[in-house]
Amino acid sequence: MKIHVTDRDGGEHELEATNGWRVMEIIRDAGLPITAECGGACACATCHVYVDPSWVERVEPRGEEENDMLDLAFEVQENSRLSCQITMTPEIDGLKVTLAPE
Ligand code: FES
């Protein structure tokens, strides 16, 4: 499986994705600049990404904790997600996201 990530300079990266991993972990392990300060506990919002509009409907919806945390994040958009709260599954093979500004 793959995910496609656009970095903050507009660079595009195709990353190998493992079933059951969080999208944040895939991005972090590929060495892209995602802080993910809390390690995936939904407590920091430094793993903020924008999900490509064509994928928003296919990704599991935001949870309550994620919404609360996004309330504290900067430059939040309708397609904002915390990438530690998206689990990789075959259904989202090919997912496209963009790293949000820090
Ligand atoms: S890594 Fe902290 S909220 Fe996602």
- Tell me the pLDDT tens digit for each residue of 74-100: 999 999 999 999 999 999 999 999 999
The whole-model pTM stands at 0.96
pLDDT value of residue 34: 96
Rounded CA-CA distance 21/46 in Å is: 18
Q: Mean pLDDT, consecutive 10-residue segments, the chain of 102 residues?
A: 98 98 98 97 97 96 97 96 98 98 91
What is the number of domains present in the chain?
Answer: 1
CA of 88 relative to ligand 1 center, distance in Å: 16
For residue 7, give its domain range: 2-99
Coil, strand or helix: which one is 97? strand
pLDDT value of residue 102: 87
Cβ atoms of 83 and 49 closer than 8 Å: yes
Bridge partners (DSSP) listed for residue 23: none
User: With 0-12 CB in 10 A as exposed, 13-18 as middle and 19+ as buried, what is 87?
Assistant: middle
pLDDT value of residue 76: 98
Query: Is the Cβ atom of 47 under 6 angstroms away from ligand 1?
Result: yes
